[in-house]
Amino acid sequence: MISRRVAATAALRSSLRRACSSSSHTADPDDQLLGLVEAPEPQRGSRLSSKDFAFLREPTPALHAAALPPPEAVLISKAIRAYAADFDGKAERFLRRHRDFLNDAVVVAVLRSVRTPELCARFFLWAERQVGYSHTGACYNALAEVLHFDDRARTIERLLREIGEDDREVLGRLLNVIVRKCCRHGAWAKALEELGRLKDFGYRPSGATYNALVQVLATAGQMDMGFRVQKEMSESGFCMDKFTVGCFAQALCKEGRWSDALVMIEREDFKLDTVLCTQMISGLMEASLFDEAISFLHRMRCNSCIPNVVTYRTLLTGFLKKKQLGWCKRIINMMMKEGCNPNPSLFNSLVHSYCNARDYPYAYKLLKRMADCGCPPGYVAYNIFIGSICGGEELPSPDLLALAEKVYEEMLASSCVLNKVNTANFARCLCGMGKFDMAFQIIKVMMGKGFVPDTSTYSKARSWFDEMRSIGCSANVVTYTALLHAYLKAKQLPQASDIFNRMIDAGCPPNTITYSALVDGLCKAGEIQKACEVYTKLIGTSDNVGSDFYFEGKHTDSIAPNVVTYGALIDGLCKAHKVVDAQELLDAMLSNGCEPNHIIYDALIDGFCKVGKIDNAQENR
């Protein structure tokens, strides 16, 4: 018996391969599916085929094995469509030869593939009559989708009557499935129509169908109709399940009919528990019945029901949506005392709401509570807080700006960054308070974390710099260095030269950090040759007058390159594929007693690997 089944499987798969083969293959005259695959017409003239243009097509991602229909389903679908005109003859003879492969997965795949209501109904009835097989809920759902796909009401009516004449039990199950399908799609009016058709055919709705109807009516706010269905359901000997009771109670509370909800729960012989009370509280919050919602919270405790984190989050979300921030504080204190915490997204919404209400002390307190709850504030929370303080047209008060600076330091400690808008606004507020150095330092730090200034940012920075000078505030070397490096990284060399000129004219001598920033900025601007000239001038081995421009200040003779200077130049040389020069610079660095760090070695190894010199890369490991 086993060998026969194996042989049948092999024969089926062989037949499937022939049926699904490309048109370039000749059909086998002995193929039992002769006529399902049309013979290709010979093409004359052009020697080009679709394969010659395959490179123009975008690659199609391979489907997961679970997403592919069973091969038996593909073969049966082809046969049903091929023998559509003679289903009772050729089609059934073919199906009988392959009924050993019949299961719910094959039936569902065939129904979804054929899609023709008449053919699907006939195949469905044929499959139900086979010994050892019975349709599952998935099969009924698939057939209901096919019938719903065809909008011709008369055709569907005729098919349903044919199904009923063949098997009344199958028709009863199918009609119930169609009603539930309408409920799942929220089409409560259509569901009631299908309910009427179910009764017209002489069937009774099942308990699952009644529950689905009550749920969709409750969701749609059709409370009176829901009570009618519930009454009919009770008279038919069915009871609502707990999920349906919860949905109905929540919908009633949403309309302020919480007393009717309590009566309904008692009539259905359910007791109030945490889940039901939470659902009713949710409905009351949507109806803005805050006192009633809190009373249900107390009712829970009286009934020995302990509010859980879902209960508190439901209350908190409801109060937050209605902008009841005073109630939010009470709920937060209440829930956190009982070990229940808001989730990160709810915390972010709370911070945003209190910042909009300009209650910054409590918003900052929430940031601290987030850390205490094990969900430390992140990118969103920090940007909300600082952006709210610094995003207005008017400058914040000194106390608020000091609070923003404090939060900024905490943000850096947690490895978070400001977005572009908040970086510019924060720096503007700092400049407005005369804290120019800190403003430029913030831009520099954010650039080191991936922030890319645009034209507006540079224009703002320049205007802050000019304002700083106009009010008699002298910029120091940190400010000049930050601006110089920023302009070089943006490949704006004329502006960078102007800043360096102003720095020298103001009597502010550049230091080692300035020259390191200069070398790094020139490398990032693609000016490797100028960066090398600055380096050779630093070590006193260059006679090129072109780089004298950067060494007109006092005490420049005493400045020597450090590990940052060497690292910037080595990295720039490696990115320009000048790895031999980079290796020589490393040797010079070692001979001058400057110890390289891992960043320099990483840059050198990466450079050698990119030019294919793996052995040299191994030597620098």
Q: Which domains does the chain have, with CATH numbers?
A: 239-335 (1.25.40.10), 341-450 (1.25.40), 474-556 (no CATH), 561-620 (no CATH)
Residue 118: how many CA atoms within 13 Å on its side-chain side? 11
pTM of the model: 0.60
Distance CA 111, CA 123 (A): 8
Helices (H) and strands (E) in the chain, counts: 32, 0
State how far the Cα of 116 lies from the Cα of 83, in Å rounded to an integer: 13
Query: Which ranges in 21-150 belong to alpha helices (H)?
Result: 71-82, 92-97, 104-114, 117-128, 137-149
213-238 pLDDT per residue, tens: 999 999 999 999 999 999 999 999 99
At 1 the three-state DSSP class reads coil
Q: What is the mean pLDDT of the chain?
A: 80
Nearest by Cα to 162 from 199, 130, 120 = 120
Measured CA distances, 527 to 450, 488, 515, 556 (Å)? 21, 10, 15, 22
What confidence category does residue 32 fall into, taking pLDDT thresholds of 50, 70 and 90?
Answer: very low
> pLDDT tens-digit profile of 523-568?
888 888 888 888 887 777 666 655 555 555 555 555 778 888 888 8
Find the distance separating the first CA and the last CA of the chain, reported in whole Å.
Answer: 66
> In this model, does residue 6 exceed pLDDT 70?
no
Inform me whether the pLDDT recorded for 323 exceeds 80.
yes
Q: What is the largest CA-CA distance in the chain?
A: 106
Give the mean model confidence (pLDDT) for residues 265-283: 91
Q: At what angle do helices 309-321 and 344-356 cross, to 10 degrees?
A: 30
Q: Which residues contact 571 (CB under 8 A, 6 or more apart)?
A: 523, 599, 600, 603
User: Considering the chain, what percentage of its residues have pLDDT values greater than 70?
Assistant: 79
| HSE-CB for 29 with a 13 A CA cutoff | 0
How many whole angstroms separate alpha carbon 4 and alpha carbon 619? 66
Q: Residue 233: what pLDDT? A: 92
Residue 234: the pLDDT is 92
Give the pLDDT confidence of 468-494 residue by residue, as tens digits: 666 556 666 777 777 777 777 767 777
d(CA 133, CA 469) in angstroms, rounded, equals 89
Averaged pLDDT for residues 439-456: 66
Express each pLDDT in 509-526 by its tens digit: 777 777 777 888 888 888
For the segment 404-446, what is each residue's pLDDT rounded down to a tens digit?
Answer: 999 999 998 988 888 888 888 888 888 788 787 787 778 777 7
Q: What is the pLDDT of residue 245?
A: 94
Q: Are 141 and 181 in contact (CB under 8 A)?
A: yes
Q: Using alpha carbons, select from 522, 541, 527 the residue that is nearest to residue 588.
A: 541
Q: What is the token pair recorded at 202?
A: 């002489």
Q: What percent of the chain has pLDDT over 90?
A: 27
CB atoms within 10 A of CB 456: 10
Contact 491, 497 (CB under 8 A): no
> Above 60 in pLDDT, residue 42?
no
Predicted confidence at residue 244, as pLDDT, reads 94
Tokens standing for residue 408: 């900024």
Across 17-31, 114-128, 418-432, least confident range: 17-31
**pLDDT at position 470:** 61
Residue 365: Cβ within 10 Å count:
15
493-509 pLDDT, tens per residue?
777 777 777 777 777 77
Are 53 and 35 in contact, with CB atoms under 8 Å apart? no
> Which tokens belong to 52?
């010659």
CA gap 396, 400 in Å, rounded? 6
> For residue 480, what are its two tokens?
């000049």
Q: Any idea what DSSP says for residue 548?
A: G
Those residues whose C-beta lies under 8 Å from the C-beta of residue 12, and which sit 6 or more positions away, are 71, 72, 75, 98, 101
Q: How many CB atoms neighbour CB 429 within 10 A? A: 23
Give the C-alpha separation, 49 to 284, whole Å.
68
| Per-residue model confidence (pLDDT) at position 569 | 87
**What's the sign of the alpha-carbon dihedral 503, 504, 508, 512?**
positive
What is residue 608's predicted lDDT score, i.e. its pLDDT? 83
Do residues 160 and 194 touch, judged by C-beta distance below 8 A? no
DSSP 434: T
Residue with tokens 């040759």: 529
